[in-house]
């Protein structure tokens, strides 16, 4: 009887481990996310909803200039270990994307 319980526990542990092995925060997922996509398409690629990130309303662009980030933009973040994909949504569509830790 104990052997059956240990076997069942091992099967459950393996199932939970395999379910968590699928890493959607990777180069392939990042490359699949394109400007103009709907948020639900991004969530499908990433395997679920990202964390909504709040901002102070000012961002620093690649040129080093500060700009207002109003206009209904929302940033969603997906994290896996030290890797992160960020997606900026405006008007329900992907405006920009970024990655770090790859």
Convert the pLDDT of each residue in 20-38 to its tens digit.
Answer: 446 899 999 999 999 999 9
CATH architecture type of domain 23-100: 2-Layer Sandwich (3.30)
User: What are the domain boundaries of the chain?
Assistant: 23-100
| Dist. CA 75–CA 39, nearest whole Å | 11
pTM of the full structure: 0.65
And the tokens for 36? 């103009």
Query: Which tens digits make up the pLDDT trace of 41-96?
Result: 999 999 999 999 865 555 565 555 555 555 689 999 999 999 999 999 999 999 99
């Amino acid at each position: 009887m104990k052997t059956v319980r240990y076997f069942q526990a091992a099967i459950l542990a393996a199932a939970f481990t395999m379910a968590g092995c699928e890493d959607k925060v990777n180069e392939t997922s990042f490359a699949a996310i394109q400007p103009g996509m709907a948020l639900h398409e991004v969530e499908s690629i990433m395997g679920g909803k990202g964390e909504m990130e709040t901002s102070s309303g000012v961002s620093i662009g690649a040129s080093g200039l500060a700009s207002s980030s109003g206009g209904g933009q929302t940033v969603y973040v997906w994290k896996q270990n030290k890797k992160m994909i960020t997606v900026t949504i405006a008007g329900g569509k992907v405006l920009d994307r970024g990655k770090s830790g790859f």
